[in-house]
C-alpha cells in the first residue's frame, strides 16, 4: 500500500504518518531526507527522533537525502515492515539545490521525481510519504523559490497519482482525499 500525507507547515502530518505507520505495521523504517545545515534544523530533527523513540513503536532510521528511489527498489521488506519517507519536499529541495546552476534543472529534477514515482509504483510493501503543500501561500519573491514551488506542486500530483491513499492534514486533522475526490 502506498500512502501520501500532505499539509502545511506544523499541521501534524509527520506525527499522523508515524501513528498511521504504527497502526499498519509491526516495525518501521524511517527514511529521513533532511540535512541538518544549521542548529534550528538539527533541533527539529532531534524533536522528530525523540517523538519516534517515545512512541513505543520500533523504528530504525535511514538517512537518505537523495537516493530514496534506489532505497525503494533495493529494500526487501520483512513481514510487518512499514517504510515512512519524511519529507519529500526536503528531498526535492536537495535535488533543486544540487542542480540549481544547471540550464536543465527542471528536467533533471523532474527525472528524479519520475524515478521515485516509478519505484513507488513497483514497491510491494507499505510505504507512507510525507510532503508539504507549498503552493497555498504567498508567491515567492525570488525565481528559485517560484521554480521550487512549481516543482513541488507537480511532484505532489505525480506522487499522489501513484498512491492508494492521500491524506491532507490540517490543524492535526487528517482527511483522506482520494475517497472524496470528484470522479468524471
Catalytic residue among 4, 25, 29, 48: 48
The reply, when asked if residue 10 is annotated as ligand binding, is yes
Whether 2 and 127 have beta carbons less than 8 Å apart is answered as: yes
Q: Is 49 annotated as a binding residue?
A: yes
Q: What pairing do the DSSP bridges indicate for beta strands 81-86 and 126-130? A: parallel
86 is in an annotated binding site: yes
Instruction: Give the three-class secondary structure for 82.
Output: strand
Q: Is 50 annotated as a binding residue?
A: yes
Is 13 annotated to bind a ligand? Reply is: yes
Tell me, yes or no, if 48 is annotated catalytic. Answer: yes
Q: What is the C-alpha to C-alpha distance for residues 70 and 93, in angstroms, rounded to an integer?
A: 18
The response to whether 136 counts as a known ligand-binding position is: no
CA 51 to chain centre: 18
166 is in an annotated binding site: no
**Grid cell listed for 133:** 503543500
Annotated binding residue 51: yes
Four-CA torsion 40, 108, 82, 124, nearest 10 degrees: 180
- The residue length of the chain stands at 184
Determine whether the annotation assigns residue 12 to a binding site.
yes
Q: Closest by alpha carbon to 20, among 180, 171, 181, 167? A: 167
Task: Extract the annotated binding site for GTP.
Answer: 7-14, 32-34, 49-52, 63, 86
| Residues noted as catalytic | 48
Cite the annotated binding site by residue number. 7-14, 32-34, 49-52, 63, 86
Amino acid at each position: 500500500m502506498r500512502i501520501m500525507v500532505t499539509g502545511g507547515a506544523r499541521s501534524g502530518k509527520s506525527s499522523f504518518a508515524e501513528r498511521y505507520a504504527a497502526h499498519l505495521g509491526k516495525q518501521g523504517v524511517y527514511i529521513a531526507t533532511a540535512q541538518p545545515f544549521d542548529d534550528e534544523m538539527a533541533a527539529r530533527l532531534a524533536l522528530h527522533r525523540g517523538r519516534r523513540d517515545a512512541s513505543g513503536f520500533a523504528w530504525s532510521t535511514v538517512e537518505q537525502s537523495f537516493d530514496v528511489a534506489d532505497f525503494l527498489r533495493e529494500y526487501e521488506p520483512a513481514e510487518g515492515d512499514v517504510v515512512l519517507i519524511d519529507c519529500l519536499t526536503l528531498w526535492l529541495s536537495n535535488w533543486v539545490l544540487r542542480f540549481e546552476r544547471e540550464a536543465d534543472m527542471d528536467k533533471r529534477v523532474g527525472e528524479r521525481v519520475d524515478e521515485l514515482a516509478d519505484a513507488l509504483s513497483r514497491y510491494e510493501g507499505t510505504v507512507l510519504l510525507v510532503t508539504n503543500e507549498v503552493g497555498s501561500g504567498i508567491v515567492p519573491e525570488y525565481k528559485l523559490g517560484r521554480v521550487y514551488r512549481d516543482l513541488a506542486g507537480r511532484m505532489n500530483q505525480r506522487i499522489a497519482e501513484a498512491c492508494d491513499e492521500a491524506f491532507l492534514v490540517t490543524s492535526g486533522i487528517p482527511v483522506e482525499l482520494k475517497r472524496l475526490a470528484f470522479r468524471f
